[in-house]
Amino acid sequence: MKLGVFGGTFDPIHHGHLVIALAAVEQLSLDRVVFVPAKRSPLKSDAPVAGEADRLAMLERAIAGEPRFECSRAELEGNAPSYTVDTLEALSAKGTLFLILGGDAVRDLDRWKDPERIRRLATIVVARRPGSEATAGEFVLLDTPLMDVSSRDLRARAARGRSLRYLVPDSVWRYIKDRDLYKVTASTAS
């Protein structure tokens, strides 16, 4: 089985994520993509704004209806921070792994835990991202339109009372709206 692995904080999941996951399925003939929400990113200074249960619920809503997408709670379980290398290790028995990263994430890869082992465990698959320079290295480049959307920008928009409709799946926007998830707080106000 060919398995895409797509980690992130998904705070919230948006169409940029979904477009690149589907591009990876099509371009590499993947059987599935596993979305792996993180407790928090070791390299991001801010903790996620939405709680784990809400981020997971939005992810589940976003991927409902696409049988090739699934999500894993592996990194949300337990208290210890989890690392991509451990997630890949755990999934490696399931098949051949393809780690899906945006252009900003691949630029940081050498600062992650055990990047060499990550490269041995999975083929790196990269979606270019506006604002991130092309990097050198061995990876498969995805053929996708550049998607200039980020969760940070979406949180800021929602905090200003702007709609996220058409930027995230309708089911995700409804979920955010019903719970006022990104109403202004200290971390989204700036």
What residues make contact with ligand ATP under the rule CB under 6 A? 8-11, 16-17, 20, 101-102, 104-105, 127, 129, 147, 149-152
The most distant pair of C-alpha atoms in the chain lies apart, rounded to whole Å, by 45
Nearest CB to ligand ATP, comparing residues 16 and 169: 16
**Using CB atoms, what's the residue nearest to ligand ATP?**
102
Q: State the CB neighbour count (10 A cutoff) for residue 189.
A: 9
Residue 6 CB, shortest distance to ligand ATP, in Å, is 7
Residue 44 CB, shortest distance to ligand ATP, in Å, is 6
Rounded distance between C-alpha atoms, residue 76 and residue 40, angstroms: 9
Nearest CB to ligand ATP, comparing residues 54 and 104: 104
HEC string of 141-162? ECCCCCCCCCHHHHHHHHHCCC
Nearest CB to ligand ATP, comparing residues 117 and 157: 157
Nearest CB to ligand ATP, comparing residues 81 and 93: 81
Contact 5, 100 (CB under 8 A): yes
The amino acid at 145: P
Sign of CA dihedral 25, 27, 30, 35: negative
Sign of CA dihedral 20, 7, 150, 112: negative
Residue 89 CB, shortest distance to ligand ATP, in Å, is 19
Residue 161 CB, shortest distance to ligand ATP, in Å, is 19
Nearest CB to ligand ATP, comparing residues 53 and 93: 53
Residue 152 CB, shortest distance to ligand ATP, in Å, is 3
